[in-house]
Amino acid sequence: MRIQRLTGLMDIDSIITSLARDLGFTEYANNREARSLARDKAAGEWITYFERGQFPLNYPGVKKREEYYYQEIIEKRKSWKREYSSFVDNITQRVSDNHKTSISSRAGDSRINPSEKRFRLSDIQNKEDTCKEYLSSLPRGLSFGETIDFAHYICPELRDYCEKNESLFNSSSRRDKGSVGKMVEFYIFGQLPDTDPRPDLDWGADIKATHFKNVKSGGLNAKERLTVTNVGSTDDYSSFEGLMQSSSLRLSKYYPKLRKGVLFVFEHEGGKYDTIEKNREKRVLCFFAYDLNDLPGEITRRLDLDYADIQDKVATRTVSQKGQTYLHIHPHGSKGSKTRALGFKNKFVTKLVSIYTRKPITVVGNSWFIEKEHFHG
């Protein structure tokens, strides 16, 4: 029995790789091309073995070895098809409903869909609705490097800005250039990191990045708190004056920094990510714009209670994060630092992701997490 090569499948693979390269995902396309060559070589060896009647000794059932080996090849083909199908789905999500590129038309037309949406950098930075549309157009589930490539494809001004200012961003004087949060600011929103206390984007949002880690139960949840803004120092309690002047969280001078943000969530897989190159390899799980004013009443009430608890602790000079549920005051800076900042606790970060991505939270004991399958759908 002769097994024919999946030439049609290989053609699809070439089309997908070409499409990825055209969309600006050079790194991803190169990886796919290398894997495709390796798979093609492996498939050829399998078929040669089958045609010659040469089978590995550990294949059970000598009389049924041909049937067994044939089934192995079929399963391998199914696996490849699933992988290609998954990639096609990913491409469809990437280009979104507003600017889908037809996979079938790519086979005979190397041009990108002329209706592909382009964004102006100033609109992303200054207009909330445009920024949200821009975010909805970016791919999820790929590496950060691939996400950056696509962002620069749909916003040429962003690409030009980064090329012009990359030497400044990479300057050795910028110690935190390898921080993934600083990379999001620069490569996704076209802003050099600074110490300006005002929100990062002119429409009122701070740009933030965080990591989700694996939990034993098989899900993912926030690895760390999300620091928002410094509020004072326990070396000088008068420095907390800004925190004590307001009667509620919404009236606080710090609320504009807390209220709105754009959060990028990366998958943590262990090891150190302290360089630009390493951070480009991270997988982007999701990203979204949030607004505390839009959250359900039970959450905003809890935030208000946390803020009141923080004020009480400052008044009694017993500042700590004990007893706060969503919003807390915590040490910020090097070890032993007396500086204190407001931040979102791990569980609240997990809850924010759940709310804005519509992925359900699973609660097991004191652990809140999101099932991994929800980040692969």
What confidence category does residue 10 fall into, taking pLDDT thresholds of 50, 70 and 90?
very low
**Residue closest to 330 by CA, chosen among 322, 317, 240:** 322
Q: What are phi and psi of 230, to 5 degrees?
A: -70, 145
Residue 376: partners with Cβ closer than 8 Å, 6 or more residues away? 141
Residue type, 258: L
Angle between helical axes of 26-52 and 65-95 (0-180°, round to 10): 170
In single-letter form, the type of residue at position 76 comes to: K
Instruction: Reply yes or no on whether the pLDDT at 96 is more than 80.
Output: no
Q: What does the pLDDT average to over 30-56?
A: 59
- Which range of 12-26, 112-126, 169-183, 340-354 scores highest in mean pLDDT? It is 340-354
CA atoms of 218 and 373, how far apart (whole Å) = 9
Q: What is the pLDDT of residues 293-333, one digit of tens each?
A: 999 999 999 999 999 999 999 999 999 999 999 999 999 98
Which amino acid, residue 360? P
Question: Residue 49 half-sphere exposure, CB side, CA atoms within 13 Å?
Answer: 17
Q: H helices within the chain, ranges in order?
A: 7-22, 26-52, 65-95, 103-106, 121-126, 128-137, 144-154, 156-169, 180-183, 189, 241-244, 255-259, 276-280, 297-315, 346-357
Mean predicted lDDT score pLDDT of the chain: 79
Distances in whole angstroms, Cα of residue 178 to Cα of each of 10, 196, 274, 278, 301 = 38, 20, 5, 9, 37
**At what angle are helices 26-52 and 7-22 packed, to 10 degrees?**
170
In degrees, rounded to 5, the angle at the alpha carbon of residue 130 between the alpha carbons of residues 124 and 136 is 100
Q: What is the pLDDT of residue 351?
A: 95
Q: How high is the pLDDT of residue 1? A: 39
Radius of gyration of the chain (CA): 25
- Is 30's pLDDT higher than 50? yes
In which band, very low, low, confident or very high, does the pLDDT at 148 lie, cut at 50, 70 and 90? very high
Cβ within 8 Å of residue 94, ≥6 positions away: 23, 138, 139, 142, 150
Residue of 377, 337, 332, 329 lying closest to 357 (CA atoms): 377
* Contacting residues for 210 by C-beta, under 8 A, at least 6 apart: 222, 223, 224, 226, 263, 264, 265, 266, 349
Q: How confident is the model over 353-362, as a mean pLDDT?
A: 94
Instruction: Tell me how far apart the alpha carbons of residues 326 and 304 are, in angstroms, rounded to a whole number.
Output: 10
Tell me how far the alpha carbon of residue 274 is from its chain's centroid.
Answer: 17
| 121-375: in CATH 3.30.70 | no
State the pLDDT at residue 39: 62
Give the pLDDT mean for 208-222.
Answer: 90
- Could you state, in order of their start, the residue ranges of all structural domains in the chain? 7-106, 121-375
Share of residues in the chain with pLDDT > 90 (%)? 53
Token pair, residue 285, equals 């799980």
CA pair distance 128, 202, nearest whole angstrom: 9
Residue bearing the bigger pLDDT, 50 or 320 = 320
93-107 mean pLDDT: 39
Residue 101 in contact with residue 95, Cβ under 8 Å?
Answer: yes
For residue 279, give the nearest of 180, 213, 209, 177 by alpha carbon: 180
Q: pLDDT band for position 217 (50/70/90)?
A: confident
Q: Which residue has the higher pLDDT, 252 or 269?
A: 252
